[in-house]
Structure 1
Amino acid sequence: MTAGLCHSDVGVMEGVIPTPHGLPLILGHEASGVITALGPDVTGWAIGDAVVVADSIEDTPGGTHDGAYAEYFLATAARLVKLPEGMDWGQAAAATDAGLAAYTGVVVRGQVKAGDRVGIVGLGGLGLIGARIAVVLGATVYGVEPKDEPWAIAREQGVTEIVHDVSELAGADLDVIIDFAGFGTTTTGALEAVKRFGRVVLVGLGRTEFPFASFEFVMRNIDLLGASSQGKPEHLAAVIDMIASGDLKIAAAEVGFDEIPAGLERLKQGTVTGRLYATLPE
């Protein structure tokens, strides 16, 4: 079993992100593993199946009930996706939340298609995945990232141009911009960089409240949409298919299961590029 580490776990521990379950709670919502038991009336699954869980705010290990930072976890059968033979466990775990959240922002809510000019704001763990998904779809991708470290990775993923601040794209008239940072200024800057009748999708929660000037937003008929994982297995299956085909590889590094607290501290300090995952010792 492999569990991905996520910055939202830090938010839960700090009391910034509420959980329906309340505390205490075993975290770990990027959950993958092998089925060891089936509940009554569960059909279509067998003990020994390798699976991942499609997260949603209504139903997820590590959110609505105890999660995958443990030897066993419970999952709803209807939210499972079976893994292809030989799928890398680290990639599978990262796909469940980071991959699914990026896919939701780019494909489900952003409606990115071939030929679009797309801005990706924030080239962290989610943003890099979102950028690659947009490239795979045939879009021309412009990245925004204040730190220089992820730039080389982004270029390897097919990002055409990278700037330090979204304000540098003002007037670029991009078709779609997905804001994986969500610091307020990143979203308002995106509104200035997207075209008339364009679309801005907010995924990141760097700030939960921010003001913005509404005149240009209204006059230019811009769509501003929120995006979070909807828990639909078909969305997660699409991400898994991209990974299995080789089109998508999530930058992810392994830590020991007993190193999860240290890994979460690294996420808190902002010293992680890509994703982290922990594998339970056999």
Structure 2
Amino acid sequence: MRAWQMIAAGEPLKLVELPDPEPGPGQVVIDVKAAGLCHSDVGFLDGSMAWMLEQMPIVLGHEVAGVVSAIGPDVEGFAVGDRVGVAGDGLDAPGIVLDGGFGERCIGKVVQLVPIPDSVSFGQAAAGTDAGMTSYHAVKVAGGVGPGSRLGIIGLGGLGLTGAKIAVGLGADVYAAEIDEGVHDLARAAGVLEVVEDTRDLAQYELDTIVDFAGVGVTTAAAIEAIAPHGRIVQVGMARDQMTLPTQTFVSKQLTLIGSLGGKKEDTAAVYELMANGTLEILATSIPFEELAEGIERLHRGEVRGRLVASYE
């Protein structure tokens, strides 16, 4: 099979021929139909996040959707021909602990498989396994957002815009901070009530929850200044490895700061349900498998709005 393989940090992806994977106990082989490209993949390749990878070389790709083509021993509940997404749990995901979806076939652990509804495309399903799952977990599970919540979103990239759409679908009043004016109209079209450029300007909306999808250090500090007393800040973005927080403001407001990484299988299933009933569509651009490495470079250069998804069909 063909696969885009990471050989070492600091080197570009290399298109190679590899043997087809064989499923072990509790595993299936998935014929990949779509694989999402993530900023984490950029971090793996430039070395800043390579510490997360369990092997080297490795076929990246942790946003996987496809069709089951082979089943290992003791597998129940899934059959050849099933449409599935792989809901990797945090660090335990394809493309991180074993070869992933940037190959034409990959291993899927049965405990991570989520059936894809017939009305949901493979491209949307692939994006839903990370952009959807991570955003849903941050907003709904870690953030506790529901009907009537007043939520602020920091950063309207692939995760932030998806998180905003999910929150709107949950019945929240959503406001956002984003320095790129080019995505402001996209956010408003998705139901975001107001978009500001400076996170501190979110203070006027008396928010009880803020989710920071940017994580550039100063954004979390600004969220502490902007949020209402007794509020909750959920940290998702990791663009910087350190943050400096205003201690007196944090303590005097009696705030809660929560880190949120990835999500659970149940979160992906919830995302697929939102997609199936028409509540959620992730902003995604499809590229052919052959252009996957160039897609990573586009992400690195900041040229992508929403998500990029490599299509294998």
Identify whether the pair has TM-score above 0.5, normalized to the shorter chain.
yes
Partner residue, 2:106: 73
Residue of structure 2 aligned with 1:229, choices 262, 272, 276: 262
In structure 2, what residue type is equivalent to 1:65? L
Unaligned 5+ residue runs, structure 2?
Answer: 1-32
Structure of greater relative contact order (alpha carbons < 8 Å, 6+ residues apart): 1
Residue of structure 2 aligned with 1:4, choices 16, 36, 55: 36
- Deviation per residue, 1:160-193 (Å, 9 max, x gap): 0000110212354311000000011111111111
- Deviation per residue, 1:18-55 (Å, 9 max, x gap): 22413211000000110011110010110000000112
Tell me which protein shows more strand as a share of its residues. 2
> 1 CA distance for matches of 2:244 and 2:228?
21
Partner residue, 2:170: 137
8 A contact 1:171–1:192 mirrored in 2: no
> 1 CA distance for matches of 2:117 and 2:302?
33
Map of 1:25-40 to 2, 5 A cutoff?
A: 25-40=58-73
Partner residue, 2:270: 238
| Displacement of 1:152 | 1.1
8 A contact 1:169–1:193 mirrored in 2: yes
Partner residue, 1:116: 149
> 2 CA distance for matches of 1:2 and 1:93?
6
Provide the TM-score with structure 2 as the length reference: 0.87
Is 1:258 aligned to 2:307, yes or no? no
8 A contact 1:196–1:222 mirrored in 2: yes
Residue of structure 2 aligned with 1:101, choices 125, 130, 134: 134
- Deviation per residue, 1:49-105 (Å, 9 max, x gap): 000011223421101111001111011101110011132111111000000010011
> 1 CA distance for matches of 2:72 and 2:141?
31
Is 1:274 aligned to 2:306, yes or no? yes
- Residues 86 and 135 of structure 1, relative CA distance in 2, 3 Å threshold: closer
- Deviation per residue, 1:145-172 (Å, 9 max, x gap): 1001111111110000000110212354
Partner residue, 1:249: 281
> 1 CA distance for matches of 2:163 and 2:79?
33
3-state DSSP of counterpart to 1:149: helix
3-state DSSP of counterpart to 1:225: strand
Percent identity for Structure 1 against Structure 2: 46
Unaligned 5+ residue runs, structure 1?
Answer: none
- Deviation per residue, 1:118-156 (Å, 9 max, x gap): 100001110000001111111111111100111111111
> 1 CA distance for matches of 2:169 and 2:255?
25
